[in-house]
Structure formats: structure tokens, C-alpha cells
Amino acid sequence: MSDGIKLINIGFGNIVAANRVIAIVSPDSAPIRRIVTDARDRGQLVDATYGRRTRAVIITDSSHVILSAIQPETVAHRFMSNRDGHGEET
């Protein structure tokens, strides 16, 4: 995929378009929890945790908020390795 959309695996077979990601953050702070609650109220929350503990919150340019069960560092590493053209093909 040289000119196509870069995809990032966020766990359990769920994939996000890398060019839509604005932030990858930990869910531990009150402001992030508020963002998650607001997104749920707006109907823009995607829960990709499969019932597991939320470890990363991904915010997209369309104001969607995605919950992931993998660490923010892991998602960021996949994001950076995919952006450099190295690492796993998704």
C-alpha cells in the first residue's frame, strides 16, 4: 500500500485509518473521561475494548472517540512504524 490509506490495528482485529487520528491518550484523567462521556452522549463513541478495561482513547478528526484495550504506547508505536513504512502490514 504505497499511496493508499494507512491502517492501524487497535486490538482484537479493529483497525483505524491513521490519517484520521488526532490524539492517542490515556483514559485516566478527568478531562479525558469527560470527552468520552460527551462522545457517548453525542453518539460518536466507538467501544473497541470487547469488554476489557479501556487503556487508550483515540480521538479522530471527525470528533469520534474510540476506546481501545491496548496501551497508548503500543498504539503510538504501531502508528509510527506504519507511518515510516516499516512494521506490520495491516
Counting the structural domains of the chain, the total is 1
Whole-number Å distance between alpha carbons of 47 and 67: 5
Whole-number Å distance between alpha carbons of 89 and 69: 21
What's the pLDDT tens digit per position in 19-54?
999 999 999 999 999 999 999 999 999 999 999 999
Q: Residue 12: inside a domain, yes or no?
A: yes
Going by the DSSP 8-state scheme, the letter that residue 54 receives in this structure is: P
Q: Residue 2: inside a domain, yes or no?
A: no
Domain ranges, residue 24: 7-82
Q: Residue 90: inside a domain, yes or no?
A: no
What's the pLDDT tens digit per position in 64-86?
999 999 999 999 999 888 766 65
Q: Residue 19: inside a domain, yes or no?
A: yes
Whole-number Å distance between alpha carbons of 4 and 50: 28
Q: Residue 89: inside a domain, yes or no?
A: no
Q: Residue 70: inside a domain, yes or no?
A: yes
